[in-house]
């Protein structure tokens, strides 16, 4: 048997109820809305530690613009000397698909530039998405391309002069194909870019530069292939050009807490945009007063996704988010865990939301007192394989679907 009776109510602690279960255990249920939320943009995204790289462009009204350009070095698996009689048929760049993002139907051009500067990580081994390295002023080739879902890769034929020069040097003793070190001394790598009409695509590090050649005297053999894979090169990373201007954010500055009231009631979590969410409890004394008589048994934060900012096909929402505790400078203090998307409502987009356990966070805040400035931090999980292209925008939708914390209290006596 459950019996509900009325309890106190104010503007921040709404819909208060007392629940008495069959064991005559009295629980107090409250809906806490005195929450301050901020979006924080960070420009320091490390992209050289992934097993894939990203190319292309995407823009929409609610995220802004993203343009991705990979910088790639290549390597050799074992020392190879090209036979003196070998003749080169063609040189190609083969890009293996990892994932597609958004609409891949339109055709687009890919331009390939040869690097003039070695890719170099910092002392911590990182290359950040904002960095760029020198490359030729003019592209080696620009070719029309299209993503074809029935194929596993995209092939670009490279400049004959580039292929012939490097292939010819491969016939020398201690030539460029004898080791990755030798190769990178003569060929620093490639940079790829597209126009703004391209999709956003991730490619595998199994992608390679390939030399197709023949040895006329070798009658029993057909065409041979020498492959220089990306994953054997010393470095690769994705450079991102990001414009965060949208219907929610007007040229927002990085490294600032942007209140949701200044973003039309929305907050964003998005790896490519560098966005995370800071959540503060400015009037923790309200919960401290309740804690004198009650013990928190559960607490869950509800974050509804803003309608019309996601769909199943071209802009799927992120299906897991991380939560942690940060200090007043947004520096991490402790991890709290990961939460999967709780409810999915594609048709009406009224009940798609996350419900995140935050009891540990509230207990932490109560233990620190009213002057503590630490906050809850919501972010999209990073990956060792690919950049997460989707993002999340949260906001109030209705009286039921709004940003809130549902708290259950148990009386102490």
**Residue 106: pLDDT above 90?**
no
Whether 104 shows a pLDDT value over 70: the answer reads: no
What confidence category does residue 41 fall into, taking pLDDT thresholds of 50, 70 and 90?
very high
pLDDT in tens, 245-288: 999 999 899 999 999 999 999 999 999 999 999 999 999 888 88
Q: What is the largest CA-CA distance in the chain?
A: 95
pLDDT for residue 22 is more than 50: no
Residue 103: closest CA among 9, 15, 10, 201: 201
User: Under a CB-based contact definition with an 8 Å cutoff, are residues 71 and 193 in contact?
Assistant: no
Tell me which residue of 300, 376, 303, 390 sits closest to 336, measured CA to CA: 376
What pLDDT band is residue 314 in, cutting at 50, 70 and 90? low
Q: What is the pLDDT of residues 184-241, one digit of tens each?
A: 999 999 999 999 888 889 999 999 999 999 988 766 566 889 999 999 999 999 999 9
Q: Which residues pair with 201 in a beta bridge?
A: 55, 100
pLDDT band at 28 (very low <50, low <70, confident <90, very high): confident
The values of phi and psi at residue 55, to 5°, are: -140, 140
Residue 158 DSSP label: P
User: Any idea what DSSP says for residue 380?
Assistant: P
Percent of the chain surpassing pLDDT 70:
91
The predicted pLDDT at position 3 comes to 31
Residue 1 pLDDT exceeds 50: no
Quote the pTM value. 0.88
What is residue 48's DSSP assignment? T
**Which one-letter DSSP state was computed for residue 382?**
P
Helix 284-291, helix 359-368: angle, nearest 10: 90
* Interacting residues of 36 by C-beta distance below 8 A, sequence separation 6+: 259, 279, 280, 281, 282
Average per-residue pLDDT in the chain? Answer: 89
DSSP letters for 318-365 = PSEEEEEEE-TT--EEEEEEEEE--B--TTT-SS-EEEEE-HHHHHHH
DSSP letter string over 166-220? HHHHTTSTT-TTS-HHHHHHH---EEEEE-TTSPEEEEETT-EEEEEEE-TT-TT
Q: What share of the chain is helix, strand, coil (3-state, %, to 5)?
A: 10, 40, 50
Share of the chain above pLDDT 90, in %: 68
Question: When comparing pLDDT for 316 and 305, which is higher?
Answer: 305
Looking at residue 216, its pLDDT comes to 83
Q: Which residue has the higher pLDDT, 221 or 361?
A: 361
Give the pLDDT of residue 247: 93
Q: Which of 209, 237, 208, 213 lies closest to 225 in space, CA to CA?
A: 213
Highest mean pLDDT among 60-64, 95-99, 194-198, 332-336: 332-336
């Amino acid at each position: 048997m459950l019996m509900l009776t009325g309890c106190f109510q104010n503007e921040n602690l709404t819909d208060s109820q007392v629940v008495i279960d069959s064991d005559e255990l009295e629980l107090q249920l409250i809906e806490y809305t005195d929450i301050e939320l901020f979006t924080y943009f960070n420009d320091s995204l490390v992209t050289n530690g992934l097993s894939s790289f990203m190319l292309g462009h995407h823009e929409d009204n609610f995220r802004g613009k993203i343009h991705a350009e990979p910088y790639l070095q290549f390597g050799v698996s074992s020392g190879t000397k090209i036979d003196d009689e070998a003749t080169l048929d063609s040189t190609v760049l083969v890009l293996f698909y990892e994932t597609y993002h958004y609409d891949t139907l339109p055709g687009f051009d890919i331009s390939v530039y040869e690097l003039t500067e070695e890719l170099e990580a910092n002392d911590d081994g990182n290359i950040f998405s904002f960095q760029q390295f020198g490359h030729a002023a003019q592209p080696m080739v620009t070719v029309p391309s299209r993503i074809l879902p029935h194929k596993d890769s995209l092939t670009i034929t490279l400049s004959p002069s580039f292929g012939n020069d490097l292939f010819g040097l491969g016939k020398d003793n201690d030539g460029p194909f004898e080791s990755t070190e030798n190769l990178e001394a003569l060929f620093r790598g490639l940079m790829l870019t597209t126009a703004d009409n391209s999709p956003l695509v991730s490619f595998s590090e199994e992608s390679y530069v390939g030399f197709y050649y023949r040895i006329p005297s070798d009658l029993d053999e057909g065409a041979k292939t020498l492959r220089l894979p990306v994953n054997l090169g010393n470095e690769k990373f994705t450079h991102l050009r990001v414009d965060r201007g949208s219907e929610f954010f007007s040229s927002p500055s990085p490294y600032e807490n942007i209140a949701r009231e200044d973003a039309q009631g929305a907050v964003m979590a998005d790896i490519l945009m560098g966005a995370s969410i800071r959540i503060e409890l400015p009037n923790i004394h309200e919960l401290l007063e309740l804690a004198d008589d009650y013990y928190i048994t559960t607490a869950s934060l509800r974050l509804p996704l803003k309608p019309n900012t996601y769909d199943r096909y071209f802009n799927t929402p992120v299906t897991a988010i991380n939560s942690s505790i940060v200090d007043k400078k947004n520096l991490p203090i402790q991890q709290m865990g990961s939460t999967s998307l709780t409810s999915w409502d594609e048709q009406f987009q009224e009940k798609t939301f996350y419900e995140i356990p935050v009891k540990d966070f509230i207990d932490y805040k109560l233990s620190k007192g009213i002057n503590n400035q630490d906050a809850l931090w919501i972010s999209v999980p990073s990956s060792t394989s690919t950049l997460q292209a989707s993002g999340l925008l949260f906001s109030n939708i209705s009286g039921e679907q709004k940003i809130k914390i549902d708290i259950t209290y148990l009386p102490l006596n």
